[in-house]
Amino acid sequence: MVVFPNGKINLGLNVIRKRGDGYRDLETVFYPIDIADGLEIIPTDSSADPIQFSVSGLKINIEGAHNLCVRSFELLKRSFPQIPPVKMHLHKTIPVGAGLGGGSSDASFALKLFNQKFNLNLSTESLLDLALQLGSDCPFFIIDKPSFAIGRGEFLERVNVSLSGYKIILVNPGIHVSTAEIFSVVTPSLPSKSIKEIIQQPIDSWKIELTNDLEEPVFKKYGEVKQIKDELYKAGAIYASMSGSGSTVYGIFTEDKPPHFFFPSNYFVKTLKVK
């Protein structure tokens, strides 16, 4: 059985306060996008190894026991020992460490696939609880609908926002940004207007009001990420922003305006039409 874990972009991101557990409270809107990995799970008769994990496509830095897909299997296996040994293959097309949530999506889709394939009868709430044990933004991919997120990103509220009729251009320079490092240098503050309110406004107002607090430290350390955003606006983007902690920058364009830009050949550039 094969599923296709999709990515996401962040529509705005405000770092609101520092928590006692070392995390930061934030607010953002997660928006699913049509770029996906492929994940296949096949039961096997092998009793020597409960899981055989393989990867193709883009290279990932975390493999084997530390991969979130493997951890999702191990998490479920503790509560459902009847799950048989499996072969799991992940084909990566979503850039890694890019602010697009690829690893989190893979893990959450693995949970949903195990639940379906082995008739575990887990409710959505149970899947959300399990997903949170794997990562702060993993619960979003259980719902996988536009959502306003607060806390570490785990408290989700469906929102009515649609980019249908636009196209989104993703640009990633291949830089792996340390999320923990970037969060550590941001000074939390309460925004004057919530992202949940801003996204209900016309998209052409977002350029002024919809911000990502993580951009400034990333731009300061990696000037090429800022250059991407500047280039997307020069090419006619209605709105452009870094997604999450980066390093992917996306631009939202009208379908009738073909953008013209140049990025180095080693950059990942992909155009997505929003249905």
Q: Are residues 111 and 246 in the same domain?
A: no
Q: Are residues 153 and 183 in the same domain?
A: no
Q: What is the pLDDT of residues 202-211, one digit of tens each?
A: 999 999 999 9
Q: Which residues of the chain fall short of a pLDDT of 70?
A: 22, 47, 61-65
Q: Are residues 8 and 125 in the same domain?
A: yes
For residue 205, the cross-strand partners are none
Residue 96's pLDDT is what?
87
Q: What is the pLDDT of residues 73-99, one digit of tens each?
A: 999 999 999 999 999 999 999 998 889
Which residue bears the tokens 């609908």?
145
Residues marked active site are found at: 8, 137
Share of the chain above pLDDT 70, in %: 97
Q: Are residues 24 and 125 in the same domain?
A: yes
* Separation CA 21–CA 15 (nearest Å): 15
Say if CB 29 and CB 11 are below 8 A apart: yes
Q: Are residues 116 and 42 in the same domain?
A: yes
Domain boundary among 131, 158, 185: 158
* Separation CA 245–CA 100 (nearest Å): 9
Give 212's DSSP letter.
Answer: B
Those residues whose C-beta lies under 8 Å from the C-beta of residue 35, and which sit 6 or more positions away, are 6, 7, 93, 94, 100, 170, 270, 272
Count the domains in the chain: 2
Q: Which of 30, 31, 33 is nearest to 4 (CA)?
A: 33
Which residue bears the tokens 């520092």?
18
Mean pLDDT of the chain: 92
Residue 63's pLDDT is what?
57
Domain boundary among 137, 158, 179: 158
Q: Are residues 200 and 152 in the same domain?
A: no
62, two tokens: 């975390």
Q: What is the pLDDT of residues 14-54, one digit of tens each?
A: 999 887 776 788 999 999 999 999 999 999 987 678 899 99
70, two tokens: 């493997």
* Separation CA 208–CA 193 (nearest Å): 12
Q: Are residues 114 and 235 in the same domain?
A: no
Q: Are residues 51 and 146 in the same domain?
A: yes
Residue 236's pLDDT is what?
94
Residue 33's pLDDT is what?
97
Numbers of helices and strands, H then E, in the chain: 9, 12
Q: Are residues 129 and 221 in the same domain?
A: no
Domain boundary among 128, 158, 188: 158
Evaluate if pTM is beyond 0.95: no
3-state secondary structure of 151: strand
We report the CATH number of the domain holding residue 89 as 3.30.230.10
Share of the chain above pLDDT 90, in %: 75
Say if CB 141 and CB 103 are below 8 A apart: no
Domain limits at 178?
166-273
* Separation CA 126–CA 100 (nearest Å): 24
Q: Are residues 67 and 136 in the same domain?
A: yes
Q: Are residues 138 and 175 in the same domain?
A: no
Burial group, residue 191, by CB count within 10 angstroms (0-12, 13-18, 19+): middle
Q: Are residues 72 and 91 in the same domain?
A: yes
Exposure pattern of 54-78 as b/e (b: 16+ CB <10 Å)? ebeeeeeeeeeeebbbbbbbebbbe
Q: Which of 108, 111, 193 is nearest to 156 (CA)?
A: 108
Residue 181's pLDDT is what?
85
Within 10 angstroms of residue 97's Cβ, the number of other Cβ atoms is: 21
* Separation CA 68–CA 55 (nearest Å): 13
* Separation CA 232–CA 261 (nearest Å): 7
